[in-house]
Homo-oligomer: A and B are copies of this chain.
Amino acid sequence: MTAANAQGCGYSHMTSTPKPRYQQLKEQIISRISSGDLRPLDRVPSEHELVGSTGVSRMTANRALRELTDEGYVERVAGVGTFVADLKAASHLLEVRNIADEIQMRGHEHRASVIDLESRPVAPDIADLLHVSAGSRVNHVFLVHFENDIPIQVEDRYVTIDFANDFLDQNFQNVTPSAYLSLIAPLQEAEHVVRAKMPGARIRRLLKMRAKEPCLVVTRRTWVSARPVSFARLFHPGSRFELAGRYRPPGIANSHPQDSNIVELRNFDR
């Protein structure tokens, strides 16, 4: 098959400019990951196999897999193979890092105390944020996260009722709501807003905050399949919590050998 044929038989008969073949390949693989056909740590077809099964050249298969690597979907090991990235790595792209993981990384103990877990009619403002009609039912969870028995975060989360139908059966003591949602389906979009605010009496009591101490409030909205599925308000005591991030542009030699794991700002730390 000549280069001309490759183009011709590929898509020259189609109406508008078709997607490039490497892009089609990428989307096909992303789709297999999203659908659960390929699960984390599963082996992804090798370049050679993709050449055989899809008819593209190896360079094209290579580009698709390389870009999926850059985008965090898969991990490649020379001489071994290509594998679906671990959930932990993938969720970093979209999550303010799971608070339980963060606490564990600091070598501390995480514990959650669920105060409220029910389905209930949604307030108008939150109905708007979740694109559901006002007054319809949504799942709601209200809990406190502890680090070594010190309260560090109050989580007030609303989840659309059709997205997670066994939401109310969860325990949420060990698996945080955020981690649970990541298990159900890979989150595809996230929006964050960070504010400084004085807490109400209830939040202040739950977080054992001093009288004049402000809260760092993070509100997060996450999308799956172009629909908002969850809205959360995360309250943190200003004296005991901060969000940090570091950014270094890509394509530059490592300038900070001393601190090895530099995270991007979208991976909130600490």
Residues of A participating in the B interface, judged by any CB pair closer than 8 Å: 26-27, 30, 59, 67-68, 70-73, 93-94, 188-198, 212-217, 223, 225-226, 236, 238, 242-253, 255-256, 262, 264-266
Contacts and interface: CB of A to CB of B under 8 A. Distances in A.
Contacts of A188: 248-249, 252, 255
This chain's copy number in the assembly: 2
B94 A238 contact: no
Given A72-B249, A94-B247, A247-B94, A196 B193 contact: no
A168 to B, nearest CB: 28
Contacts of A189: 246-249, 255-256, 262
A91 B216 CA distance: 27
A30 B251 CA distance: 8
Given A246-B189, A246-B191, A27 B251 contact: yes
B72 A194 contact: no
A67 to B, nearest CB: 7
B195 A216 contact: yes
Contacts of A196: 196-197, 214-217, 236, 238
Contacts of A246: 189-192
Nearest to A227: B255
A128 to B, nearest CB: 14
B252 A30 contact: yes
A256 B226 CA distance: 7
A238 B189 CA distance: 26
The 4 closest A-B pairs by CB, nearest first: A214-B214, A196-B238, A196-B196, A226-B255
Contacts of A255: 188-189, 223, 225-226
27 contacts: A30-B252, A59-B59, A70-B70, A71-B250, A71-B251, A73-B249, A73-B251, A188-B255, A189-B246, A189-B255, A189-B256, A191-B245, A192-B245, A192-B247, A193-B244, A194-B194, A194-B216, A195-B238, A195-B242, A196-B196, A196-B214, A198-B238, A214-B215, A214-B238, A223-B256, A225-B255, A265-B265
